[in-house]
Amino acid sequence: MQIRSKLPNVGTTIFTVISRLAAEKGAVNLGQGFPDFEPPDELLDRVAHHLRARHNQYAPMAGVPALLEQIAFKIDRLHGVQVDPQAEITVSAGGTEAIFCAIQAVVHPGDEVILLDPCFDCYAPTVELAGGTVVRVPLTMPDFRIDFERLGAALSPRTRLVVINTPHNPSGALADADDWARIGSLLHGTDTLVLSDEVYEHLVFDGRSHVSALSNESLRSRAFVVFSFGKVFNATGWKIGYCVAPPEMTAALRKVHQFVTFSVSTPVQHGLADYLESSPEFFGLLSDFYQARRDKFIRLLAGSRFTLTPSHGTYFQLVDYSAVSQASDIEFCRELVDHHGVAAIPVSHFCETPPDCRLLRFCFAKSDATLETAAERLHAV
């Protein structure tokens, strides 16, 4: 029997390939974006409590009411935006599911979706599954900012959605209030929607602030905004996030969500609701914690043949290897694993047309011992 894939050009994701190769070679894995650290003890205790408190059946499709309420309080407190917890928030199986459901909900065959390259690898396949056409707009180099002239030129009457990611994976660049205002101006008078991937919202460094699409009044009525608890609480394996959108857009998203996962882990939702209520200060601690990880990684690489500009956000750091090798980033990643015992992710994986640079993405959400071992090996390259 022959199976005609709906994604014929998609293979196994680079994150799986590199992680498997790192495990086979015993390499230090700074490739895939998962932390070495555990969730807060109190959060683990609350989830364990709800496992034993008969909260083990299906949650409501949109999310446990107590968690929806706490998310609404958090958005009001941090962004100064009031959202209706029942009509505008949907708990999802990670940020990826929310992105998938949003795109499937509104993109029809023939619609165009603008992606800003480099971008996370789940966006384009999801558009293709919806029958949409991907339109790529490269970010500027070397700062990975939005090129508004090219973005404006890419917009057409068929543009259904513009996807923005801030803080940006893989570069760590941030969208600011002026960026959102310019996007709002470009979309004024159109039916084009926005999907804003903000899963690293609390990982912003050097005194900068995360600016959400929710804070822009002109975009608030046309934006899906996606967040992640897995990234925030060092629990990527829990696969739990949420999407905030106006009621009509939320209703469309939930029509898809109910047939993808229907609902998300009930005891984890209850545990998160408890922890958000008892420890609202937790979010304010994350930037300093991860900035210290970033700064340590930068110090450890000082004096090596690699160069870098400090990341403004996420827990990723781009590193330039052009003084080391002229090989492609994919070839150099394999060389690093095979001969030097360190795993990274090639930036070209995030692009349709790779930029003219030699950059690798490293994850610094790791323990001191892991970062020190990796740096020692990188100094030997």
Q: Residue 271 corresponds to which amino acid? A: G
The verdict on whether omega for the bond into residue 167 sits within 30 degrees of 0, i.e. cis, is yes
User: What b/e readout covers 218-240, taking b as 16+ CB neighbours within 10 angstroms?
Assistant: ebbebbbbbbbbbbbbbbbebbb
Q: Tokens 């384009």 — which residue?
A: 124
Angle at 325 between CA 319 and CA 326, to 5 degrees: 105
Q: How far apart are CA 244 and CA 71, in angstroms?
A: 10
Query: Cα dist. 260→255, 278, 377 in Å?
Result: 9, 31, 43
The count of other CB atoms within 10 Å of the CB of residue 194 is: 22
Q: Which residues contact 250 (CB under 8 A, 6 or more apart)?
A: 87, 88, 89, 90, 243
What tokens were used for 172? 């760590």
What per-residue confidence (pLDDT) applies to 33?
85
Query: Can you give the pLDDT of all 381 residues of the chain as single tens digits?
Result: 888 899 888 877 778 888 888 889 899 999 988 899 999 999 999 999 999 999 999 999 999 999 999 999 999 999 999 999 999 999 999 999 999 999 999 999 999 999 999 999 999 999 999 999 999 999 999 999 999 999 999 999 999 999 999 999 999 999 999 999 999 999 999 999 999 999 999 999 999 999 999 999 999 999 999 999 999 999 999 999 999 999 999 999 999 999 999 999 999 999 999 999 999 999 999 999 999 999 999 999 999 999 999 999 999 999 999 999 999 999 999 999 999 999 999 999 999 888 888 999 999 999 999 999 999 999 999
Predicted TM-score of the model (pTM): 0.96
Q: How far apart are CA 313 and CA 103, in angstroms?
A: 25
Domains of the chain: 14-39+283-379 (3.90.1150.10), 41-281 (3.40.640.10)
What tokens were used for 22? 């790192």
Q: How far apart are CA 25 and CA 17, in angstroms?
A: 12
What per-residue confidence (pLDDT) applies to 17?
82
Angle at 332 between CA 330 and CA 338, to 5 degrees: 105
The count of other CB atoms within 10 Å of the CB of residue 147 is: 15
Q: Which residues contact 297 (CB under 8 A, 6 or more apart)?
A: 317, 362, 364, 371, 375
What tokens were used for 151? 């973005």
- Gyration radius from the chain CA atoms: 21
What per-residue confidence (pLDDT) applies to 40?
97
Query: Cα dist. 251→63, 79, 266, 313 in Å?
Result: 13, 23, 21, 32
What per-residue confidence (pLDDT) applies to 356?
84
User: What b/e readout covers 250-284, taking b as 16+ CB neighbours within 10 angstroms?
Assistant: bebbbebbeeebebbbbbbbbbbbbbbeeeeebee
